A and B are shown apart, each in its own frame.
Chain A
Amino acid sequence: MSNIYKGMKPTRRNFLRGAAASGAALVGGTTVAKAQADPLIVEKQPWSQFLGAGVDEAPYGMPSKFEAHVRRQDVPWLTADPISSVNFTPLHELDGIITPNGLCFERHHGGVAEIAPQDYRLMINGLVDRELVFTLEDLMRFPRENHVYFLECAANSGMEWAGSQLNGCQFTHGMIHNVMYTGIPLRLLLEEAGVKTTAEWLLPEGADASGMTRSIPMEKAMDDCLVAFKMNGEALRPEQGYPVRLVVPGWEGNMWVKWLRRIEIGDQPWHHREETSKYTDLFANGKARRFTWEMDAKSVITSPSPQKPITHGPGPMVLTGVAWSGRGTIPRVDVTIDGGINWHQARMSGPSFDKSMHRFYYDFNWDGKPMLLQSRAHDSTGYVQPTKDALRAVRGENSIYHNNSIQTWAVNEQGVAENVEIS
Chain B
Amino acid sequence: VVAGGLGLGRLALEEEVAAWDIDVRPDGLGLPAGSGDVWTGEEVFVEKCAACHGDFGEAVGRWPVLAGGLNTLSDDDPVKTIGSYWPYLSTVYDYVNRAMPFGEAQSLEPDEIYAITAYLLYVNDLVEDDFTLSNENFLDVQMPNVDNFYMDDRLTVEMPLFQSADVCMENCKDSVEITMNAMVLDVTPETETAETTVV
Check A359 for interface membership: any CB of B closer than 8 A. Answer: no
Per-residue A-contact encoding for B59-99, CB less than 8 Å = 1, 0 else: 00111100000000110101010100111101100110011
B83-137 residues at the A interface, CB under 8 angstroms? 85-88, 90-91, 94-95, 98-99, 102-103, 105-106
Tell yes or no: A177 within 8 A of B by CB. no
Contacting residues, chain A, for B17 (C-beta < 8 A): 123, 125, 131
Q: Give Cα distance in the complex from A142 to B198, angstroms.
A: 53
Q: Is A382 an interface residue (CB 8 A)?
A: yes
CB contact under 8 A between A390 and B162, given known A141-B6, A423-B176? yes
- Contact status B27-A292, CB under 8 Å: no
Q: Are A4 and B194 in contact (CB under 8 A)?
A: yes
Contact, CB under 8 Å: A210 / B194:
no
Interface centre among B74, B76, B188 (most CB of A within 10 A): B188
Decide if B140 is an interface residue (CB 8 Å cutoff).
no
Are B88's CB and A341's CB within 8 A?
Answer: no
Partner of B99, one of A209, A340, A381: A209
Q: How large is the interface on B (under 10, 10 to 19, 20 to 34, 35 or more residues)?
A: 35 or more
Inter-chain contacts of A416 with B (CB < 8 A): 199
- B195 in the interface (beta carbon within 8 A): yes
Q: Which of B8, B74, B175 has the most CB of A within 10 A?
A: B8
Binds B, one of A34-42, A51-59, A224-232, A306-314: A306-314
A148-172: which residues lie under 8 A (CB-CB) from chain B? 163-168, 170-171
**Nearest CB to that of A170 among chain B residues?**
B191
Residues of B within 8 A of A277 (CB): 80, 82, 85-86, 91, 95
By the criterion CB–CB under 8 Å, are B95 and A273 in contact? yes
Chain A, residues 288-326, CB within 8 Å of chain B (1/0): the string is 111111101000000000111101000000000000000
Q: Tell which of A66, A76, A277 has the most Cβ of chain B within 10 Å.
A: A277
CA of A339 to CA of B148, assembled, Å: 38
Closest-CB distance, B45 to chain A (whole angstroms): 18
The answer, yes or no, to whether B182 is at the interface (CB within 8 Å) is yes
The answer to whether A1 touches B158 (Cβ under 8 A) is no
Residues of chain B within 8 A (CB-CB) of A334 are: 167, 169
On whether the beta carbons of A73 and B178 are closer than 8 Å, the reply is: no
Chain A contacts of B76 at CB under 8 A?
A: 397-398
Q: Are A268 and B187 in contact (CB under 8 A)?
A: no
Q: Are A383 and B159 interface neighbours, CB within 8 A?
A: yes
Q: Evaluate whether A343 and B181 lie within 8 angstroms (CB atoms) in the complex, with A133-B10, A210-B99, A277-B85 already known.
A: no
Interface residues of A in 193-225 (CB under 8 A from B): 193-194, 203, 205, 209-211, 213
Q: B: which residues have CB within 8 A of A?
A: 2-6, 8-12, 16-17, 20-27, 52, 61-64, 73-74, 76, 78, 80, 82, 85-88, 90-91, 94-95, 98-99, 102-103, 105-106, 148-154, 157-159, 161-165, 167-173, 175-183, 185, 187-189, 191-199
Q: List 13 A-B contacts (CB under 8 A).
A: A10-B197, A92-B193, A123-B20, A132-B11, A192-B9, A273-B91, A289-B153, A341-B175, A372-B176, A381-B159, A416-B199, A419-B183, A423-B178
